[in-house]
Structure formats: C-alpha cells, structure tokens
Amino acid sequence: MTLYDLANPTFFLKLVRRVLPWLIGACVLVSAIGLYMAFFSAPEDYQQGNTVRIMFVHVPSAWLALFCYGMMSVSSIGSLVWKHPLADVSAKAAAPIGATFTFLALFTGAVWGKPMWGTWWVWDARLTSMLVLFIMYLGIIALWKTFDDPAKAAPKIAVLTLVGSLNLPIIKFSVDWWNTLHQPASVFRTDGPSIATSILVPLLVMALAFTLLFVAMHLSAMRNEIFRRRIRSMRVRVAAKAPAAAAGRVVGAAGVAGGN
C-alpha cells in the first residue's frame, strides 16, 4: 500500500473501518495501564509531591499539540505539492483535535504552575509560544469555516499552516534560547532522559495512550470530512441540474404559449 493507494477515498474509508476498532481497543487498554501506573505505580516526586501526576496528562497533551500541527504541516505540503486528495482532508480534520490538546496542555500546565510556581501563568517564551499555537489552531479552524468550497480553501490554508509551522521550533527550543520559568527538556535530550524511570515509564505509556487516541480521533474526523465533501458534491450536482430543469420548464412553457 502506498500513499497513492490512499488517495482513493473509498479505499481509505475501507481501511479506516478495519483499523479503527483495533485502535480503539489498544487505546482503551493502554490508557487503563497508563492511568493505573500514573496513580498507583509512580511514586510522589521528592519536590513536586503528587502534582507530578499532572505531568502524565500535561506532557502527552503538549507533545500531541506539536505533533498534530507538524502533521498538518506535512499534509499541507502534500496538498500544495502533490495535490493529494486526502491531504487537506487530513489537515482540516486534525485542527480541532490539535486545538483541544493545546488547550489541555495550557490548562494542565496552569494547574500545575499554581502550586509549583505560585502562579497560573507567566509570559515566558514556552508558555507564550504555546498560546500562539493555540491561537493559530483557532484561526485555521475559523478560516476553514469561512469558505464554502474546500477545494478553494485548501491551498490558502495550507500556505498559512506552513507559515505557522515556524512556531514549532520556537516552542521546542524556547527553553534553550531564552531564560524561561518553564524547565528545559527532560525526556528528549542528547544525554538521555533526566527523569527517574519510575516516573518516565508511566509518562511514556500515557504518551502512547494519547497518541493512539489522537490517531483514532483523527481517522474518524477524516472519515467525517470525506462524508461532508461527498454530501457537498451531491448537493452541487442537484443545484447544477436545477437551473437546467427550470430553464427547460420555461422553454417548454414558452413553446406552449407560442403554440396557442
């Protein structure tokens, strides 16, 4: 199976129908294991106490917020360069999911920040760039809604999405480039993770659960978007036939009138 096979929406829908139940099953199982580990296996942090458990939902949410936008950027390239029929379907379907995960990253970060930093929010580079990401998601969602024809909207929104992708390295390296209250990377580091294994393992299991959840929701949302476009094309066909039929009736009526 290649990317070109997936260009056929009917083939893609068949694939989704087959894969989705397995994805949902795996997601439920991994989430259950991850939540068990987060609350019953992971110890309290020696400094953060129980608030470290917020990290098990905060970090995966933040990763997925970035991953989702990265995927939308790749989809935008696919839409602009190869005109892949499902590329802009993928980009459009991912936006609300990415916005939700970005909101969750911001919210869970705030409720962790209050007891640990003594404040809900600071305008440091990491937090601000994540807020910018959230606003970009909302802008992209709003822009999709302003166009009637998705084919006309796709290239414009793809360009905007790609411009917005410049924010991704800023988010990732903000903690290195600027002096931020947000701590630097502690998992993906050149010298290995700086987190204790007892906390790292539940974190990675929860990240896997969130990723499975994202993939399942994204595939479902893509299926909905394909249905939406099919309905639109059916309505356009009806509308295109309607004036012709009306014109036929007018000509017919004129013919009848002329005959009298």
Partner 1 sequence: MDFLGFDLGRHGGYVLAAYVVVAFAVTGLLVWIRADRRRLEREMAELEAAGVRRRSQRAKPVQTD
Q: Name which of 114 and 152 has its Cβ closer to partner 1.
A: 114
Distance of alpha carbon 151 from alpha carbon 166, whole angstroms: 25
CB of 146 to partner 1, least distance (A): 19
Cα distance between residue 32 and residue 20, in whole Å: 18
Shorter beta-carbon distance to partner 1: residue 57 or 175: 57
Contact 180, 126 (CB under 8 A): yes
| The token pair that represents 64 in the structure block | 């997925």
Cα distances from 194 to residues 23, 43, 181, 186, 200, in angstroms, run 31, 16, 18, 5, 9
State in angstroms the smallest separation of the CB of 42 from partner 1.
Answer: 12
**Among residues 53 and 126, whose Cβ is nearest to partner 1?**
53
Residue 200 CB, nearest approach to partner 1 (Å): 19
Which residues, other chains included, contact 56 with Cβ-Cβ below 8 Å and sequence gap of 6+?
Answer: 34, 38, 42, 202, 203, 206
Q: How far is the CB of 159 from partner 1 (least distance, A)?
A: 27
Q: Which CB sits closer to partner 1, 180 or 220?
A: 220
Query: Token pair for residue 186?
Result: 């502690």
Q: Which residues bind partner 1 (CB under 8 A)?
A: 10, 39-40, 44, 49-51, 53-54, 57-58, 61, 96-97, 100, 103-104, 107-108, 111-112, 114-115, 213, 217, 220-221, 223-224, 227-228, 230-231, 233-235, 237-238
Nearest distance from C-beta of residue 134 to partner 1, angstroms: 13
CA–CA separation, 179 vs 174, rounded Å?
A: 8
Beta carbon nearer to partner 1, 108 or 256: 108
Neighbours of 224 (CB within 10 A): 12
